[in-house]
Chain A
Amino acid sequence: MTKFRWLILFGPLVLFAGLVLFLLKGLGSDPTELDSALVDDPVPQFQAKDLYDTDITYDQSVLHDGPLLMNVWATWCPTCRAEHEFLNELAAKGIPIVGLNYKDDSREKAVNWLNTLGDPYTVNLFDPEGEIAFDFGVYGAPETYFIDHKGVIRYRHVGDVNERNWSNKLQGIYQQLVEEAK
């Protein structure tokens, strides 16, 4: 009976504390950042033209020589402009980044952007209708996919890649993929 009494007295308190912790966790998370449905799935099949030279066509095999990043970008996207300089830095460090130009206003604009701001991408995929991006579950730009050496999507980052989130989280994810490939 005394045990039961303790349960009545402190049970609600414990439940309340649990609820507070649960809600506190929710407070810090961004509801617009969704986990990709494709995590742990191989990259979807696609056919894409080269952004510079539309006579060249690529398929999903360009994403099979990982670990690599695939960055979804467009010239109409201000956050893409903000992260571009940092992508250049990553590329200079030798990190392979495939660019997916997503529903851009025009191909000329995109090419012009890369010519003036620098081109951090090893391959430039051109997706004017957003069909490839649709199969990746892209819902905005920029998004960055982390793809391992088997061509499997392992992580999706929504929003810009910058020095802070790279050193805090993303670099670790990339390093792990590099380790796995050895």
Chain B
Amino acid sequence: MSDIEQKDKPATQPEWVKDERTLTNSALPSEEQDWFCDARPRRVEKHWQVLENFMNWARAHSLWILAFGTGCGAIEMRPLVTARYDISRLGMQMRPTPRQASVFVIGGYVSLKTLKRIVRSYEQMQGPKFVVAVCSCAINGGMYWDSYNTIKRIDEYIPVDVYVTGCMPRPEAVLAGFNLLKKLIREGKAEGQNLYADKFDWYKANQKQVIKDWNMPDYNW
């Protein structure tokens, strides 16, 4: 939660006291509501710019990708680790679990069913986390612009740092997208995690608007 909202809270009240801003997880069965956390994501402030610059350099040179093939664009991720393109020379590697990854690659069209998994995986990633959306479908629906089951704009549901156009983009284009992401990280502009924390209610409202049977915890980390 942002600074202004934090000031509204009485100073004497500890963090764990439940108030109206506590998440309820009301979509879950009552015995499961306590299994998940009820705290909102919090904005993380950076303090020491010199240290932050160094950390951003380290983050940019050690991008770990969450290898989650959401659509057909995921096919273009596999050549990246082969000898021809070899992202490991840039310090990147595929990571099988969202806990350890820092880049979420949305590979192509996002159906409603996938969106649920995307939201959960994104929330399970540890910050700072970045999102690269590959393919036209993730940008504006692409060839699925009139489909009944495809999300048209992924940036209304999770914050996106870099878009890569194409149907499907060549691995060179994806690499160019990753280079742009690196540049943004080193300039300190890739703050998707803080954006998600600041506009948490807006993102949640958007997600719940299209996911009709919301049966997940409200914030899953």
A and B from one assembly? Answer: no
